[in-house]
Amino acid sequence: MMVVDLQNTPPPAEWGVTVDLAAIEVLADLWAGTEFPLPEFDYPGTPTNRVDQWWFDYVTLGVSVMACLWPPEGEAVWHAEHDGEWLDDAPGIFTCFTRTLGANGIDLDWFANLSDAEGAAFFAGRGVLQLIPERVQTLRHTAATLQQRWDGSARHLVEEAGRDGSEIVRLLIDTIPAFVDRPTTDAGIAHFDKLAHLAAAIMAAGVGWGDAGFSGYDSFPVYPDYMLPRVFRHYGIMNYELALAEHIDGRLIVPADSHAEHAIRWATVYAGAKLTVALSERGTVVGGPALDYRLWSIAVLGPDARSFGEHHRTITQVY
């Protein structure tokens, strides 16, 4: 089956999501000439001392379970405690790994042999984190793969890739099942690869991007998760047909691998690519990680984030 050209072709309109190219031009006018810094991913809860010997293991394990961080309807958002502060979303997940760091960094053997009880304690916090048994199983498999395929360290994966972002993504997908995010849709195979791109970016950011010899990131797409569509919808770039809009606004589940879910993710990548082109035409050249960080920051950290409406809810381990 053919691979879908996500960045240059919009999803079928009958799947319920359309992209307004005129709205992209409006946003490009607004953002042209502004700074797009690369993310540092220096979240609260992450270690300040990051070294190659264990940083890439930390990122690989952490991002492998960086998905479905919203709670079931009626439940509280999950938080993990770090130095007296309760952190949610990505900082909360990374906090769990920071709490286990020893003198030699990440203990892959411990993760590879994680019991169900140890796994539940590892993710201890307040509120509800979905899919804990599945996350524990992912950690076991990912740690075992790093031990067996990568000789006990994700650093070997990074070095085999030549510190090239696209090669890191390829090797993560080819060798670690948790990073496979390529559903077969009715239009072809969609290479979404959200967690693989995120992991590759955090690996580089944590040790200094280009200053640490990393390259090959500018062509990254934006990451198709559940926060970026909120921004694009807010700006009128992504539009949902009425039934889907009411479904999402009603906080109902969008089934995994449905036309609607595929269309939302596809439209996110497509809109990001078109916005990149529109900015470039206005003299503002921005790479994928920097654009994604701008969009994510607006959706999560921005002063108007709470006014952006609901995100779609899909129970999944890939974003």
Q: Identify the three-state secondary structure at position 286.
A: coil
Residue 248 · residue 254 · CB < 8 Å: yes
Identify the pLDDT of residue 305: 84
Whether the pLDDT of residue 228 is over 90: the answer is yes
Mean pLDDT for all residues in the chain: 97
Question: What is the torsion angle, in degrees rounded to the nearest 10, for the CA atoms of residue 239, residue 244, residue 247 and residue 249?
Answer: 10
Identify the pLDDT of residue 306: 85
Q: Identify the three-state secondary structure at position 31.
A: helix
Q: Tell me: the pLDDT tens digits for 185-209?
A: 999 999 999 999 999 999 999 999 9
Q: Radius of gyration over alpha carbons of the chain, in Å?
A: 19
The H or E element that residue 81 is part of is strand 80-82
Percent of the chain scored above 90 by pLDDT?
A: 95
**Domain regions of the chain by residue span:** 13-307
Euclidean distance between the first and the last CA atom of the chain, given in angstroms as a whole number: 24
* Banded pLDDT at 248 (limits 50, 70, 90): very high
CA distances, 14 to each of 7, 65, 96, 246, 260 (Å): 19, 32, 42, 16, 9
Structure tokens given for 84: 């007296």
Q: How many CA atoms lie within 13 A of 212 on its CB side?
A: 20
Give the separation between CA 7 and CA 260, rounded to whole angstroms.
Answer: 18
Whether the pLDDT of residue 303 is over 90: the answer is no
Structure tokens given for 137: 């199983």
The β-bridge relationship of strands 238-240 and 17-19 is antiparallel
Give the separation between CA 297 and CA 164, rounded to whole angstroms.
Answer: 25
In sign, the C-alpha dihedral spanning 186, 261, 231, 169 is negative
Whether the pLDDT of residue 103 is over 90: the answer is no
Q: Where are the alpha helices (DSSP H) in the chain?
A: 21-31, 52-64, 89-98, 108-112, 116-122, 132-148, 154-160, 165-175, 194-207, 228-234, 242-249, 259-281, 288-300
| Claim: this prediction has a pTM higher than 0.95 | yes
Question: Whose CA is closest to 28, among 218, 228, 235?
Answer: 235
SS (H, E, C) 120-185: HHHCCCECECCCHHHHHHHHHHHHHHHHHCCCCCHHHHHHHCCCEHHHHHHHHHHHCHHHCCCCEE
